[in-house]
């Protein structure tokens, strides 16, 4: 009774283990976003920018300081006064206490505080957009790696299918050679073709292992972590070209980052100009001074009280340097604009190429699916005729090679189809969603 159910239990257990090793695309993306080092660094950069963005960092809050000094000393005193009096005392004790609190607040500074705060706001937005860009890039890399593994596995499966045909041909060719109904060249050629397919299978196995290591690296885990992938479903519709172009203009994180950099340069120019304007400060202090000496002219002094006033700071002879900085800043701004135009052109070209590849792959898949069915049937007929010795080994060989090529064409077309869709979403910046 136990022996009867043992194979069933083993099968169920094996299926359970296998299912645990399956890594879906969504799971891969989730792991990458939570563990990828670039993402973690960008998250930290965002927190740094958020922490640094404050009115205090912009210089709006007043400066308040408190100072205190307490000194005690023992000295030997020798003092001669103008009236002829001589004071001489050893072990003279002196005690000094100075306490003060100081306050300073900029009343006017050419609006540099508000300009600096605006710059900090933009820097925080840059950190947020950089995180979006890293997420977009990581999702793109993970998806491409995933579908590449899927492609390689399908190619290996197709090779394994064709190897069975090549093995049968090799066996038949060997049998005919041994009984003398066919030449040795046919047998040797069949063995060569079989070994080529086995070599392709070995290479594909290695390529699959390397591709899985690449994906594991993106997921920040052990490169030898085993897993299997699921089949990829391609959506029936793509975003329209108008939607893609609009997304490039409005939400693509690379474009948005460059525009934020332009805004930073604008704020830098305003800050340079603000530094050329006078600054008005309100100042105040509260002081307490105490001095006590056991000998000397002044034996005891104490004063305390508040102090208040205004101060003005006017920059002189800095306009030439400021004009130079503004000119350099303007050139940097222009360069940012050129980079935006170049990047938009590149993204638009990439989108157009992806559309072209997608549509071309759709046509190829439709054609190759029909063609593959025909080639399979032709291969089966050719094999049957070869068994009956009604065709030559050359004809069968060509039929088998046609099957190999047709399988690769349709697998590659499906891969290009999915890859084109992913690239379009990447260009739009919608992989973040």
* 231-267 residue pLDDT tens: 877 666 788 889 999 999 999 999 999 999 999 999 9
Q: What phi-psi label fits residue 386: left (phi over 0), alpha (psi between -120 and 50 degrees) or beta?
A: alpha
Q: Residue 296 — very low, low, confident or very high, per pLDDT cuts 50/70/90? A: low
11-20, 149-158, 368-377: lowest mean pLDDT where? 11-20
Residue 73 located in a structural domain: no
Residue range 369-376: mean pLDDT, rounded: 88
Portion of the chain with pLDDT greater than 90, in percent: 51
| 192-206 pLDDT, tens digit each | 888 998 999 999 999
Average pLDDT over the chain reads 87
Residue 17 has pLDDT above 70, yes or no: no
Q: What are phi and psi of 40, to 5 degrees?
A: -60, -40
What's the domain count of the chain? Answer: 1
Residue 23 has pLDDT above 50, yes or no: yes
Residue 20 has pLDDT above 60, yes or no: no
| 333-356 pLDDT, tens digit each | 999 999 999 999 999 999 999 999
Q: Which residues of 378-405 are buried (b: 16+ CB within 10 A; e: fewer)?
A: ebeebbeebeeeebebeebbebbbbbbe
Name the nearest CA neighbour of 101 among 271, 287, 278.
287
At 4 the pLDDT is 43
Residue 230 located in a structural domain: yes
Residue range 37-44: mean pLDDT, rounded: 91
At 258 the pLDDT is 95
* Cβ-Cβ contacts under 8 Å for 303 (sequence gap 6 or more): 287, 288, 289
At 235 the pLDDT is 66
Distance CA(131)–CA(45), nearest Å, equals 8
Residue 2 has pLDDT above 50, yes or no: no
Residue 83 located in a structural domain: no
* Cβ-Cβ contacts under 8 Å for 394 (sequence gap 6 or more): none
Q: Residue 1 — very low, low, confident or very high, per pLDDT cuts 50/70/90? A: very low
Does residue 98 contact residue 139 with C-beta atoms inside 8 Å? Answer: no
Residue 302 located in a structural domain: no
CATH number, domain with residue 51: 1.20.1600.10
Bridge partners of 95, per DSSP, are 72, 292
Residue 15 located in a structural domain: no
Distance CA(289)–CA(102), nearest Å, equals 14
Does residue 383 contact residue 168 with C-beta atoms inside 8 Å? Answer: yes
Residue 71 located in a structural domain: no
Residue 184 located in a structural domain: yes
At 295 the pLDDT is 64
At 171 the pLDDT is 86
Distance CA(365)–CA(151), nearest Å, equals 14
Distance CA(71)–CA(82), nearest Å, equals 29
Higher pLDDT among residues 89 and 282, named by residue: 282
At 135 the pLDDT is 93
Domain limits at 141? 24-62+115-279+315-428
Residue 397 located in a structural domain: yes
At 353 the pLDDT is 94
| 143-197 pLDDT, tens digit each | 999 999 999 999 999 999 888 888 888 888 888 777 777 678 878 888 888 899 8
Q: Which residues of 299-321 are buried (b: 16+ CB within 10 A; e: fewer)?
A: eeeeeeeeeeeeeeeeeeeeeee
Residue 90 has pLDDT above 50, yes or no: yes
Q: Tokens in use for 406?
A: 């047709």
Name the nearest CA neighbour of 245 among 358, 126, 355, 361.
355
- Among 79-83, 256-260, 393-397, the range with the most confident prediction by mean pLDDT is 256-260
- Sign for the CA dihedral angle at 412, 416, 417, 418 comes to positive
């Amino acid at each position: 009774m136990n022996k009867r159910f043992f194979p069933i239990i083993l099968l169920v257990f094996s299926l359970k283990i296998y299912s645990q090793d399956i890594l879906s695309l969504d799971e891969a993306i989730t792991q990458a976003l939570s563990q990828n080092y670039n993402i973690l660094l960008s998250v930290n950069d965002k927190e740094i920018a958020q922490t640094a963005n404050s009115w205090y960092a912009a210089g709006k809050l007043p400066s308040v300081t408190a100072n205190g000094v307490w000194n005690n000393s023992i000295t030997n005193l020798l003092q001669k006064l103008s009236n002829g009096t001589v004071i001489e005392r050893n072990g003279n004790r002196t005690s000094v206490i100075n306490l003060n609190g100081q306050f300073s607040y900029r009343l006017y500074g050419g609006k540099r505080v508000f300009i600096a705060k605006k710059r900090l706001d933009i820097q925080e937005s840059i950190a947020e957009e950089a995180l979006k860009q890293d997420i977009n890039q990581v999702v793109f890399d993970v998806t491409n790696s995933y579908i590449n593994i899927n492609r390689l596995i399908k190619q290996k499966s197709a090779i394994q299918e064709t190897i069975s045909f090549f093995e049968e041909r090799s066996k038949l060719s060997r049998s005919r050679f041994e009984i003398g109904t066919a030449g040795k060249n046919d047998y040797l050629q069949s063995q060569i073709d079989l070994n080529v397919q086995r070599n392709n299978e070995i290479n594909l196995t290695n390529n699959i292992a390397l591709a899985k290591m690449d994906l594991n690296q993106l997921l920040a885990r052990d490169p030898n972590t085993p897993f299997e992938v699921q089949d990829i479903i391609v959506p029936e519709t793509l975003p329209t070209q108008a939607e893609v172009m609009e997304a490039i203009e409005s939400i693509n994180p690379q474009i948005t980052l460059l525009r934020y950099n332009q805004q930073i340069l604008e704020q830098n120019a305003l800050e340079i100009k603000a530094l050329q304007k006078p600054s008005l400060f309100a100042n105040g202090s509260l002081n307490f001074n105490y001095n006590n000496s056991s000998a000397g002219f002044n034996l005891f002094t104490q004063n305390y009280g508040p102090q208040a006033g205004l101060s003005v700071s006017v920059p002189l002879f800095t306009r030439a340097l400021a004009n130079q900085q503004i000119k350099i800043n303007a050139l940097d701004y222009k360069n940012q604009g050129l980079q935006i135009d170049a990047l938009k052109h590149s993204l638009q070209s990439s989108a157009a190429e992806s559309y072209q590849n997608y549509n071309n792959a759709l046509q190829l898949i439709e054609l190759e699916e029909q063609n593959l069915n025909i080639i399979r049937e032709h291969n089966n007929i050719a094999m049957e005729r070869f068994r009956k010795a009604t065709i030559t080994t050359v004809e069968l060989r060509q039929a088998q090679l046609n099957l190999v090529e047709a399988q690769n064409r349709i697998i590659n077309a499906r891969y290009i189809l999915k890859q084109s869709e992913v690239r379009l979403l990447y260009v739009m910046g919608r992989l973040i969603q």
